[in-house]
């Protein structure tokens, strides 16, 4: 199941609202459960370099069914997934990408945000995801 | 000058409205005057392969300040620009990408649409561009 | 606003002059505020591998509105932006890329230098940027 | 033997002068005899899409020791080199790229120009190459 056009729009709006509240300038990407782009918005004066990062954070979250930052903990030097960023045409493994999961525990996509501190990015991404459902996935294997 | 967040949203909506009228399922991309992504929307059931085509059509239009289809006429076998598609990480040179030009003749970006026949793609792209201004550029060198 | 042809040439010359003073062989790239190439020069006997590094340093600086080396401090193992180099077709996050900012605080592009120690690279880049204005940006959101 | 820093600058200036005479807005690239970038300049208001094309034209000319347009005649459908554009990360095989050859018949690099009609591009490229020497190579195997 994939995030719908309407849900993606709602997620973008939820994220944009939180970005306004936190006075940040964000790039916001929504991808479906296959990791392909569904919707995207770059706020005025957002970093140009954040376009690709927002999309890659969303992909990272949906590719492995967890917030991008959790992958990042496992990809530090000496950790089990060290270097995973080299796969899939580049992953971004710091916070700001979260799965979009509905109340039945189905992951329909992910949202990725870039443009401020990783804490703000993560907060804005979660605000977007929560317009659709919960952020946390049940234990793997989850359904998509 | 770059297309603003608000204008990009308006262009998306104009294109989505025309897509609904023509009963087509489109991917719609808006890029700024440097060719970087500003806004994107994939309608439900739109071809997955159209995501990249919509973005590349928009880039093609803004990179050379003309509708993507005009480049395509010049890039046929035996024509002056044969093979230009191999530049810029891939151009798409059939119709569906048009510059966004305001009433002062300034090109602030472009819109690219993919998902139906090239005629429909072009029609939907123009409907999006026209929410901001005219589609045709004055003679080069135009201003951005 | 983008760095002009004349300013880019001045920045190159400023950097080349400093390179001669420091007896280094540099690759020097100037990009506009969208990160696309405006001017480039490779001095005789400069490292071939520095061509791409100079361009990527300039892009990194303009993509996030700060010297490339500042990103590098945040992208070390365990730091918030660990792995950011995997975005945007490759970032270079050690010193040698600096934004070009005019006296009104507008960032019109960036300059990236590679070919010697990072200290020398940074010094030569700053000499280039200073031919146009100051190097430091006001707080984000800055204008471009 | 490679085009020197000084020669590359001279070639750029020769091309820029011709561009001014023909009232065109060009991207101009000089590569050495290995095809790596030596110098580049984008005139104000030149097409953003021409950056990559200028560089690829120069590479195409030096990779095969002939003007880019000659490759293009051989790469048409049904001709011996059909599809050669898919090699070397993308070739551009219409006119505007010419080898830089000195009076001893040694090819030290190439110049590629993009931004107007292919006739103008070719004319401006030749004006740049001629600041260094002749444009035509002796028969292969030539020396580099």
Predicted local confidence at residue D1, as pLDDT? 77
Give Cβ neighbours of residue D105 (< 8 Å, ≥ 6 apart): D137, D138, D142, D143
Share of chain D above pLDDT 90, in %: 86
- Assign residue D84 a region (left: φ > 0; alpha: ψ between -120 and 50; beta: otherwise): alpha
Do the Cβ atoms of C5 and D43 come within 8 Å? yes
Question: Is the torsion defined by CA of A79, A80, A86, A88 positive or negative?
Answer: negative
Residues of D in contact with C4 (CB under 8 A): 44
Contact A111, A128 (CB under 8 A): yes
Give Cβ neighbours of residue A142 (< 8 Å, ≥ 6 apart): A65, A101, A105, A106, A107
* pLDDT for D7 beyond 70: yes
Predicted local confidence at residue B1, as pLDDT? 76
Whether the CB of A1 is below 8 Å from some CB of chain B: the reply is no
Q: Tens digits of per-residue pLDDT, C53-92? A: 999 999 999 999 999 999 999 999 999 999 999 999 999 9
- The ipTM, to two decimals, is 0.91
- Against chain B, the chains showing at least 3 CB pairs within 8 Å are A, C, D
Confidence of residue A142 (pLDDT cuts 50, 70, 90): low
How many Å apart are CA B60 and CA B91, to the nearest integer?
A: 6
Do the Cβ atoms of D52 and B144 come within 8 Å? no
Whose CA is closest to A67, among A143, A139, A138, A135? A135
Q: Tens digits of per-residue pLDDT, B12-64? A: 999 999 999 999 999 999 999 999 999 999 999 999 999 999 999 999 999 99
Predicted local confidence at residue B105, as pLDDT? 82
Predicted local confidence at residue D142, as pLDDT? 67
Confidence of residue A133 (pLDDT cuts 50, 70, 90): confident
* pLDDT for A134 beyond 80: no
**Total residue count of chain D as it appears in this document:** 144
Whose CA is closest to A143, among A90, A105, A94? A105
Predicted local confidence at residue D102, as pLDDT? 83
Question: Is the torsion defined by CA of C13, C17, C19, C23 positive or negative?
Answer: positive
Residues of A in contact with B38 (CB under 8 A): 41-42
Q: Give the residues across from A109 on adjacent strands.
A: A32, A100
Mean per-residue pLDDT, A77-85: 94
Least confident of A29-33, C133-137, D90-94: C133-137
Q: In the CATH scheme, what architecture does the domain C5-129 have?
A: 2-Layer Sandwich (3.30)
Distance from CA of B64 to the nearest CA of C (A): 15
Q: What 8-state DSSP symbol labels residue C121?
A: H
Do the Cβ atoms of D76 and B78 come within 8 Å? yes
Whether the CB of C9 is below 8 Å from some CB of chain D: the reply is yes
Predicted local confidence at residue C116, as pLDDT? 96
Mean per-residue pLDDT, D74-83: 94
Q: Give the SS3 label for residue A52.
A: helix
Mean per-residue pLDDT, D23-32: 97
Whose CA is closest to C133, among C113, C107, C94, C114? C107
Contact C57, C113 (CB under 8 A): yes
Confidence of residue A13 (pLDDT cuts 50, 70, 90): very high
Predicted local confidence at residue A104, as pLDDT? 81
Q: Between residues A140 and B66, which one has the greater pLDDT?
A: B66
* pLDDT for D103 beyond 90: no
Q: Return the H-helix or E-strand segment holding A46.
A: none
Predicted local confidence at residue C36, as pLDDT? 96
Distance from CA of C16 to the nearest CA of D (A): 11
How is chain C split among helix, strand and coil, in percent rounded to 5? Answer: 40, 20, 45
Least confident of B121-125, C39-43, C133-137: C133-137
| Nearest-by-Cβ selection for C40 from D34, D37, D44 | D37
Whose CA is closest to C122, among C139, C101, C97? C97
Both tokens of D82, joined, read 């059909």
Do the Cβ atoms of D48 and B60 come within 8 Å? no
Phi, psi of B39 (to 5 degrees): -155, 150
Whether the CB of D45 is below 8 Å from some CB of chain B: the reply is yes
| CA distances for D144 relative to D33, D59, D63, angstroms | 6, 14, 11
Both tokens of A16, joined, read 């944009």
Do the Cβ atoms of C142 and A45 come within 8 Å? yes
H helix runs in A65-117, sequence order: 68-74
Predicted local confidence at residue C141, as pLDDT? 65
Confidence of residue B134 (pLDDT cuts 50, 70, 90): low
Predicted local confidence at residue C142, as pLDDT? 63
Which of D19, D20, D23, D53 is the best substitution to test chain B (most B C-beta atoms within 10 A)?
D53
Which of B62, B83, B110, B141 is the best substitution to test chain D (most D C-beta atoms within 10 A)?
B83
Confidence of residue D141 (pLDDT cuts 50, 70, 90): low
Whether the CB of C41 is below 8 Å from some CB of chain D: the reply is yes
Q: Tens digits of per-residue pLDDT, A96-124? A: 999 999 878 889 999 999 999 999 999 99
How many Å apart are CA B30 and CA B44, to the nearest integer?
A: 18
* pLDDT for A141 beyond 70: no
* pLDDT for C134 beyond 90: no
Do the Cβ atoms of D49 and B91 come within 8 Å? yes
Predicted local confidence at residue A95, as pLDDT? 98
Share of chain A above pLDDT 70, in %: 94
Mean per-residue pLDDT, C100-113: 90
Contact B9, B119 (CB under 8 A): no
Predicted local confidence at residue B142, as pLDDT? 63
Predicted local confidence at residue B79, as pLDDT? 96
Predicted local confidence at residue D80, as pLDDT? 93
| Nearest-by-Cβ selection for D38 from C36, C38, C42 | C42
């Amino acid at each position: 199941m994939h995030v719908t056009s309407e849900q993606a729009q709602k997620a973008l709006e939820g994220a944009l609202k939180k970005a306004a509240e936190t006075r940040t300038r964000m790039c916001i990407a929504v991808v479906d459960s296959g990791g392909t782009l569904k919707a995207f918005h770059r706020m005025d004066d957002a970093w140009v370099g954040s376009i690709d990062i927002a999309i890659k954070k969303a992909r990272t979250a949906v590719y492995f069914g967890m917030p991008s930052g959790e992958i990042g903990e496992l990809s530090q030097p000496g950790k089990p997934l060290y270097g995973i960023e080299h796969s899939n045409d580049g992953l971004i493994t710091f916070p700001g990408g979260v799965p979009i999961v509905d109340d039945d525990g189905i992951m329909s996509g992910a949202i990725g945000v870039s443009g401020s501190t990783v804490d703000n990015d993560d907060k804005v991404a979660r605000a977007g995801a929560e317009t659709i459902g919960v952020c946390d996935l049940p234990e793997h294997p989850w359904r998509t």
